[in-house]
Amino acid sequence: MSASKAPSAAPPPPAATPGGVRVALSRLRRHAVARLGAIAIVSLFVVAIFAEALAAELPIVCRHRGTWFLFANVTQPAELSGLDCDGLAAADPDGVRLGPLVCHGPLREHPDAKLAPPLSLRGYPLGTDVRGRDVFARVVHGTRTSLTFALVTALAFVGIGTFFGAVVGFRGGPVDAFLARIVDTLTAFPTLVLAIGIQALVPKPTAATLFVAIGLTRWTEVYRVVRAEVQHAATRDYVLAARALGASPTRVLFRHIGPNTRSVAIVAATYGIASVVLAEASLTFLRVGRDTTSPSWGELLAQVREHPAAWWLLAFPGLMLLVTVVAHHVVGEALRDVLDPHARHAGEATTGALPPSTAIMERD
């Protein structure tokens, strides 16, 4: 009877328990710099979600020809086709309107207002670009573009790397040796070079091809760390006890070993968002990214090459890029310290990857 209760007597990984989560959050709140980084990240996602409330062609709420329109800036009703905030004001001076912060969309071009400096034109707080498009609108909507793309891409390659790292690290054998050669080959080349090569093979690069290019080159980092975590966890006493008592390999992997990889995946996703944002901006700056008509920080930065005097095209998207990357790295460092307090002292760090998290596997 006592032997049958051995697996249940072993406590689950601390990171997987509600108490462990509360302790981790409590430790994270003590990091003053991490709190600032978290506030910055939340603010960026708020800007991305409510981009139309900050910059759009149509009002948020308006009454036109006796009809009320709610969230017209998002729904773009056909009755208001061809109109904007100024057009509605001219057509119905006494109408009721609640407009966005800036009444310009990211795609509307103003040929008579090209490369206008900030505050030089009424209604253009950050100036215009080479096509007369509002820089504030493109920076705001570029936040949504960059963060959405980075979040989806990071979750994808973290999920792929975690899955293959866990399965291959647990099973081992010829598949492990085969994937090790592939991973070594991919990690021998810089991510940006591989992404440029993949994009160059596509006749017309799009967001989908950019997603594939970055995803195919970044999953190896997560794979190596998760594989090391799983191989280490597989030698622990509670895993050996579960195997001895007849637990299936699937149960051992997902019930006993899997929780040890969660902290690695969380930290990798945090770092991954920052790296994807930087990679996407770099590729767009080099004109091998997405379509240049879509709002993007990298697209605004690329215009500075032909117009170096237009400092606002460098300052504002560059500042957003800096805040995004630094905030995610600060939070990632704090999460790594909270979930793995011995990571900074571990000598097992792999170049270009996160250090294996060993503290969460201790069974005091």
**Does residue 320 or residue 196 have the better pLDDT?**
320
Residue range 31-47, pLDDT digits in tens: 788 889 999 999 999 99
Residue 292 has a pLDDT of 67
Domains of the chain are 6-51+136-361 (1.10.3720.10), 57-99 (no CATH)
CB contact at 8 A, 215 and 155:
no
pLDDT at position 359 over 70: no
Average pLDDT (316-340) is: 89
Q: How many CB atoms lie within 10 A of CB 117?
A: 15
Residue range 128-179, pLDDT digits in tens: 999 999 999 999 999 999 999 999 999 999 999 888 888 888 887 788 888 8
Dihedral sign, Cα of residue 168, residue 273, residue 326, residue 45: negative
Q: If you average pLDDT over every residue of the chain, what do you get?
A: 80
pLDDT at position 262 over 60: yes
The percent of residues above 70 in pLDDT, for the chain, comes to 84
Residue 109 has a pLDDT of 86
Provide the β-strand partners of residue 97. Answer: 62
Distance (Å, whole) CA 84 – CA 106: 13
CB contact at 8 A, 226 and 161:
yes
Structure token pair of residue 111: 């040929």
Residue 126 has a pLDDT of 92
Residue 353 has a pLDDT of 42
Average pLDDT (283-289) is: 81
pLDDT at position 7 over 70: no
Tokens 């509605």: give the residue.
88
**Does residue 265 or residue 312 have the better pLDDT?**
312
pLDDT at position 9 over 50: no
What secondary structure letter does DSSP report for 234?
A: T
Q: How many CB atoms lie within 10 A of CB 86?
A: 13
pLDDT at position 342 over 60: no
Average pLDDT (23-27) is: 65
**Does residue 277 or residue 357 have the better pLDDT?**
277
CB contact at 8 A, 143 and 200:
no
> Residue 68: which H helix or E strand, with range?
strand 67-70
Structure token pair of residue 90: 């001219």
Distance (Å, whole) CA 300 – CA 285: 8
Tokens 């294996």: give the residue.
356
pLDDT bin (cut points 50, 70, 90) of residue 75 is confident
